[in-house]
């Protein structure tokens, strides 16, 4: 466990203007799609490039044995507290990951190699986790969160499509989730489909540029992502997934 670190964003105007607007849409529809340009200033180019480098050191995800998918993954945990413009981060010990809401993973203790502490507390990751934490707090009012940080690379190869969601249409089993594209190289496909619980029209979008993002209230929607298809020998789709559950 590390010392507690507090962070106040330097991009105050962006966060003050963005969080209320984006979170209001989440409260109304269950989700919001945010493009790279809408998050401009949230994270510097240098910090983003440093963070993206963490995907170059991911071990193979052995927890998908028996599923026709090849991916690499790390998992880390934080406690995050939101107090106005100040967000506090504390690294938590690694633990098993459970998703009993999804039949494919029900009853399974999934163990992933940990995200290094220096990555969890890097300026780039704190910027994105802090933004998502403010979003989660604005959506449901909770201010103290147990946060799961997933670094996931889905690999598509010639003759073997990548499967971002081998579980199909699903609910993640968390309060809120932020999804941020980090890299998309040498692939087509990867169409994200959001199904609102209220029966309103489904929404489909493709995350194309680094920082293209989706944030959702997991209780209000289900979602899925279509396969990625390699344009050559292989291609990758790198995602940062940040899940939020209230501290109890």
Boundaries of every domain in the chain: 5-246
Where on the phi/psi map is residue 98: left (φ > 0), alpha (ψ -120 to 50), or beta?
A: beta
The model's confidence at residue 66, banded by pLDDT at 50, 70 and 90, is low
Q: What pLDDT shows up at residue 67?
A: 66
pLDDT at 11 over 50: no
Q: What is the percent of the chain where pLDDT is above 70?
A: 90
What average pLDDT does the segment 127-138 reach?
96
For residues 95-117, average pLDDT: 79
**Which has more confidence, 248 or 202?**
202
Mean of pLDDT over the chain: 89
Task: Quote the pTM value.
Answer: 0.91
For the residues 152-171, what does the mean pLDDT come to?
90
3-state SS track over 130-163: HHHHHHHHHHHCCCEEEEEEEEEEEEEECCECEC
pLDDT of 70:
87
Query: Is residue 1 predicted with pLDDT exceeding 60?
Result: no
The confidence score (pLDDT) of residue 223 equals 92
Among the residue ranges 18-22, 123-127, 143-147, 234-238, the one predicted with the least confidence is 18-22
- At 201, give phi and psi (nearest 5°): -55, 140
* pLDDT for the residue numbered 3: 56
Q: What is residue 7's predicted lDDT score, i.e. its pLDDT? A: 63
Average of per-residue pLDDT across 57-65? 84
Min mean pLDDT across 107-111, 222-226, 239-243 is at: 107-111
The pLDDT score that the predictor gives to residue 165 is: 84
Environment class of 141 (CB within 10 Å of its CB; exposed 0-12, middle 13-18, buried 19+): exposed
State which of 1-5, 77-81, 110-114 shows the largest mean pLDDT: 77-81
pLDDT for 139 beyond 50: yes
Architecture of the domain made up of 5-246: Sandwich (2.60)
- At 171-201, the pLDDT tens digits run 888 999 999 999 999 999 999 999 999 988 9
């Amino acid at each position: 466990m590390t010392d507690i670190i507090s962070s106040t964003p330097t991009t105050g105007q962006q966060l003050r203007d963005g969080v209320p607007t984006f979170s209001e849409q989440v409260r109304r529809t269950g989700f919001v799609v945010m493009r790279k340009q809408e998050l401009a200033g949230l994270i510097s180019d240098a910090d983003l490039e440093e963070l993206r480098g963490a995907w170059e050191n991911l071990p193979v995800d052995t927890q998908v044995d028996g599923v026709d998918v090849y991916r690499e993954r790390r998992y880390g945990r934080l406690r995050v507290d939101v107090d106005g413009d100040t967000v506090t981060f504390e690294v938590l010990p690694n633990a098993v990951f459970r998703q009993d809401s999804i039949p494919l993973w029900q009853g399974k203790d999934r163990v992933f190699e940990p995200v290094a502490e220096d990555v969890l507390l890097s300026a780039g990751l704190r910027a994105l986790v802090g933004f998502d934490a403010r979003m989660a707090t604005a959506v449901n009012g909770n201010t103290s969160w147990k946060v799961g940080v997933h670094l996931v690379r889905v690999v598509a190869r010639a003759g073997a499509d990548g499967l971002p969601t081998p579980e199909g249409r699903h609910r993640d089993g968390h309060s809120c989730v932020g999804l941020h594209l980090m890299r998309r190289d040498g692939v087509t496909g990867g169409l994200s489909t959001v199904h609102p619980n209220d029966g309103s029209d489904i929404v489909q979008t493709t995350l194309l540029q680094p920082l293209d993002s989706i944030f959702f209230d997991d209780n209000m929607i289900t979602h899925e992502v279509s396969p990625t298809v390699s344009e050559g020998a292989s291609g990758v789709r790198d995602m940062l997934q940040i899940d939020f559950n209230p501290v109890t």
